Structure 1
Amino acid sequence: MISFQSEGIEFDLQEESRISDWLVQVAKIEGFQIEELNYIFLSDEGLYEINMEYLNHDTYTDIITFDNSDDEEIIEGDIFISIERVKENAETFETEFETELRRVLAHGVLHLCGYKDKSDEDTKLMREMEEKSLGLY
């Protein structure tokens, strides 16, 4: 149902089972069921290349989410995460790496549940939902 893999970097997610259960709970609270969700951990450069190729965005980012679902209540998707960017953000926001990583993991699921982050108002709601999700962990 949920898979975690690394591409081009050495990274092993700790507590995979607990994190999977938690992400299922985050989705369920929002009225969604996770059918198939793939997390792919990459370098900054790897994610930048995906950002350029698929979204035509010439920027670095911590996460890119692709929704592959045909059903509104089912989550099927691929979520690409830059581990380098997560580490940098953890330092910037003065938080533990694991906490920032969980925030980004939840962020991807929340996108697949319909939350956006393009406007200030949407970003504020997304942050609130991230905090709520972290509280469930």
Structure 2
Amino acid sequence: MISFNYETGFELGNEQQYEEWLSAVIESEDKSEGEINYIFCDDDYLLKMNEEFLDHDTLTDIISFDYTMGNLISGDIFISVERVKENAEEFNVPFEEEIKRVMAHGILHYCGYKDKTDEDSQVMREKEDEKIKLF
């Protein structure tokens, strides 16, 4: 089950379409859908979480808490809408594309993809592009 929660004025719009897409992303990786919660928030909200839970004093677009067991994908994905908007402007892409990229990014982490090295980041970016096309 995929749910969407809002700690800011932003709302996705067609949640059912996003839910179906994210389910397809999970299926495309031969995984099963558990309970996934998306929480959309602002920079301040995510910064507090970053400091409290990860001991990082930096702004970020996404923080995910992975509760995946085996092939059952589950977790809480926190997304700063402010950061996504800024990244979309910086990378000169539509906001809708960037929000999908970040949403897919969280799922891909749960599927085992990493992004700490340049090589891993390249694979992650290719996977994000592939998953956005499923929308």
Q: Name structure 2 gaps, 5 residues minimum.
A: none
Unmatched tracts of structure 1, length 5 or more: none
Query: In structure 1, what is the equivalent of residue 110 of structure 2?
Result: 112
1:33 Cα shift? 1.1
Matches within 5 A, 1:1-137: 1-7=1-7, 9-69=8-68, 71-137=69-135
Q: CA offsets, 1:45-72, max 9 Å, x none?
A: 1101111111111111000111113x21
DSSP 3-state at the match of 1:5: strand
Q: Can you list the C-alpha shifts for 1:95-117, whole angstroms capped at 9, x where unaligned?
A: 11111000100001001111111
CA distance in 2, matches of 1:77, 1:15: 21
The percentage of aligned residue pairs carrying the same residue is 53
Aligned partners of 1:20 and 1:33: how far apart in 2? 14
TM-score of the superposition, structure 2-length normalised? 0.97
Q: How high is the TM-score relative to the length of structure 1?
A: 0.96
Root-mean-square deviation (CA, aligned residues, Å) is 0.7
1:3 alignment partner AA: S
Count of residues paired in the alignment: 135
1: CA distance between counterparts of 2:88 and 2:50?
A: 21
Counterpart residue type for residue 24 of structure 1: S
Give the 4+ runs in structure 1 shifted more than 4 A: none
